[in-house]
Amino acid sequence: DAGVTQSPTHLIKTRGQQVTLRCSPKSGHDTVSWYQQALGQGPQFIFQYYEEEERQRGNFPDRFSGHQFPNYSSELNVNALLLGDSALYLCASSLGLAGPYEQYFGPGTRLTVT
């Protein structure tokens, strides 16, 4: 039973560039949520995708966008990178929207913006 996978593991980008992070949910899950975790802080909710639509969104600017594919995998795109975007980006999968539900996290993508 495959868990949540994310790619790449690490990424270094320059200010102003764009980045795409990828996530495959746990087998059987159809909902994907993305979180940003700065060093020493708790995960901050970016957005959630279900049935290929963004269902909920946290307090992140429009530079952060996403997509969910028919196979439930998802991408997180960040445009015009800022130094403050450096963080661990976590993908979490769950089943359905009707809670309560536990989330399974992937290992994350460590993004460094220089």
Q: Which residues bind another protein (CB under 8 A)?
A: 33, 35, 41-45, 48, 56-59, 90, 92, 99-100, 102-108
Residue type, 111: L
Please state the closest distance from residue 15 (CB atom) to another protein, in A: 26
Q: Which 8-state DSSP code applies to residue 98?
A: S
Nearest to another protein of 12, 80 (CB atom):
12
Nearest to another protein of 62, 102 (CB atom):
102
Q: Does residue 89 contact residue 21 with C-beta atoms inside 8 Å? A: yes
Nearest to another protein of 14, 59 (CB atom):
59
The C-alpha angle 69, 94, 46, rounded to 5 degrees, equals 70
Please state the closest distance from residue 95 (CB atom) to another protein, in A: 13
Please state the closest distance from residue 96 (CB atom) to another protein, in A: 14
Is residue 18 exposed (0-12), middle (13-18) or buried (19+ Cβ within 10 Å)?
Answer: exposed
